[in-house]
């Protein structure tokens, strides 16, 4: 907050908040501490990332910053969606080392701040659908996972990519609860190599032009927009290239209800509820859920020989 300069405040933010400026009596566009305080209090995003903007060709209606950052699933903190943001407030993500290992020629350990400098960041406005039936549209900032995969050079034997969230009982209260935890930690996810290399698959480091909020998986998370939200693992510690299909957390918890693929599919109901419809955060009415969450063109080729009722 304190290190912000004029260039961090974009004209759009100033424009959208001009009424607040007037109220504050700010005559000229300067970054006063009073202004920063207002922006912070209102939880308005102050851009601190440089990225190529998404043109939003499908004209998706983006959810507000507030909606996206105050309704979260992040069990390491709590299963209460509205409380995650408060419990995550003091999570320290400053010197976060991401480890990439396993079946690769070039394993690396890299500070996420350095990693961000290596790749051109781009905005991706994606639909996001949780298996529970809520949905949103979020303007993520990140880079395609396939760029990182290319750089670490997987061996021929690498067939899957496994992702693991940090394990740190001081950081995550639910991990500290041991056998009373909500799920078994560390949270683990996986993708098949072709899924990981799909241009839609994003390693996200930002949201709304700004570094990720803790509750959304700072400092780096996966976003796989055609799959149920639980595949989009947060606060990644390790990415490992492996030969066998990894056992992901929710499949390990209950394999009758959750599988490895978790492709959004209105025709395959969850054993306890229908998946035909979804409620977008902030709207009253439900809308129809789309096959592969609306990304059929981009991803259906990967599943053409698979029975999607069997490979849940
Ligand atoms: N480490 C970790 N990652 C996680 C989860 C979690 O509990 N822990 N929840 C998942 C679920 S169920 C969803 S719907 C999305 C929610 O992401 P959001 O809070 O940014 O909307 O994160 C996913 N990634
Ligand atoms: Mo979810």
Average pLDDT over residues 273-288: 98
Q: Whose CA is nearest to atom 11 of ligand 1?
A: 230
pLDDT grade, residue 44 (50/70/90)?
confident
pLDDT grade, residue 2 (50/70/90)?
very low
Residue-level pLDDT at 35: 65
Average pLDDT over residues 89-114: 98
CA distance 158 to 162: 10
Q: How far is the CA of 114 from the centre of ligand 1 (A)?
A: 24
Q: How far is the CA of 186 from the centre of ligand 2 (A)?
A: 16
Q: For residue 26, is pLDDT > 50?
A: no
CA distance 84 to 216: 9
pLDDT grade, residue 233 (50/70/90)?
very high
Residue-level pLDDT at 45: 77
- 252 CB contacts (<8 Å, ≥6 apart)? 184, 188
- 278 CB contacts (<8 Å, ≥6 apart)? 129, 133, 134, 135, 286, 287, 288, 289
Query: Using one digit for the tens of pLDDT, what is the confidence trace for 123-168?
Result: 999 999 999 999 999 999 999 999 999 999 999 999 999 999 999 9
Average pLDDT, the chain: 92
Q: For residue 25, is pLDDT > 60?
A: no
Residue-level pLDDT at 39: 67
Is the C-alpha dihedral spanning 12, 15, 18, 24 positive or negative?
positive
Q: Whose CA is nearest to atom 15 of ligand 1?
A: 229
Residue-level pLDDT at 47: 85
Query: What is the phi-psi region of residue 217: left when phi exceeds 0, alpha when psi lies from -120 to 50, beta otherwise?
Result: left
Residue-level pLDDT at 30: 53
Average pLDDT over residues 40-65: 89
Q: 49-303 — its CATH code?
A: 3.90.420.10
Q: How far is the CA of 228 from the centre of ligand 1 (A)?
A: 10
Continuous segment of H or E residues that includes residue 190: strand 188-192
Q: How far is the CA of 190 from the centre of ligand 2 (A)?
A: 15
> Taking ligand 2, which is a single-atom ion, which protein residues have CB atoms under 5 Å away?
73, 130, 229-230
Domain chopping of the chain, boundaries: 1-44, 49-303
Query: Using one digit for the tens of pLDDT, what is the confidence trace for 56-77?
Result: 999 999 999 999 999 999 999 9
Of the listed ranges 23-32, 41-50, 198-207, 256-265, the least confidently predicted one is 23-32
For the CA of 164, the nearest ligand: 1
pLDDT grade, residue 201 (50/70/90)?
very high
Output DSSP code: residue 245.
P
Judge if pTM exceeds 0.85: yes
Residue-level pLDDT at 31: 55
Average pLDDT over residues 204-225: 98
pLDDT grade, residue 258 (50/70/90)?
very high
Ligand 1 mutation pick, 66, 128, 229, max ligand atoms within 8 A of CB = 229
pLDDT grade, residue 46 (50/70/90)?
confident
Q: Whose CA is nearest to atom 5 of ligand 1?
A: 74
Q: For residue 84, is pLDDT > 60?
A: yes
Q: 225: Cβ below 6 Å to ligand 1? A: no
Residue-level pLDDT at 24: 46
CA distance 312 to 309: 6
């Amino acid at each position: 907050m304190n290190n912000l300069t004029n260039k961090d405040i974009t004209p759009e933010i100033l424009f959208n908040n001009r009424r607040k400026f007037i109220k504050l009596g700010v005559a000229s566009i300067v970054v006063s501490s009073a202004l920063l305080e207002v922006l912070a209090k209102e939880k308005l995003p102050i851009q601190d990332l440089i990225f190529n903007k998404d043109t939003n060709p499908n004209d998706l209606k983006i959810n507000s910053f507030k909606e996206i950052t105050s309704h979260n699933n992040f069990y390491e903190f709590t299963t209460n969606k509205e409380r995650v943001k408060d419990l995550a407030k003091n999570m320290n993500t400053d010197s976060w080392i991401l480890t990439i290992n396993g079946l690769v020629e070039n394993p690396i350990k890299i500070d996420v701040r350095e990693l961000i400098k290596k790749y051109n960041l781009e905005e991706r406005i994606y639909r996001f659908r949780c298996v529970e039936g809520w949905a949103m549209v979020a303007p993520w900032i990140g880079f395609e996972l396939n760029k990182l995969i290319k750089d670490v050079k997987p061996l021929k034997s690498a067939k899957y990519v496994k992702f693991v969230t940090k394990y740190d009982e001081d950081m995550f209260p639910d991990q500290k609860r041991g056998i009373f935890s909500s799920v078994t930690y560390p949270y683990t996810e996986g993708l098949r190599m072709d899924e990981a290399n799909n241009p839609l698959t994003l390693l996200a480091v930002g949201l709304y032009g700004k570094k990720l909020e803790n509750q959304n998986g700072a400092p780096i998370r996966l976003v796989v927009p055609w799959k149920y939200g639980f595949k989009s693992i947060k606060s990644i510690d390790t990415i490992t290239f492996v030969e066998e299909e990894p056992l992901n957390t929710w499949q390990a918890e209950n394999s009758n209800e959750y599988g490895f693929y978790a492709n959004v599919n209105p025709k395959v109901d969850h054993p306890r509820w229908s998946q035909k419809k979804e409620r977008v955060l902030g709207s009253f009415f439900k809308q129809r859920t789309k096959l592969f969450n609306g990304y059929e063109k981009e991803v259906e080729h990967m599943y053409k020989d698979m029975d999607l009722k069997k490979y849940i």
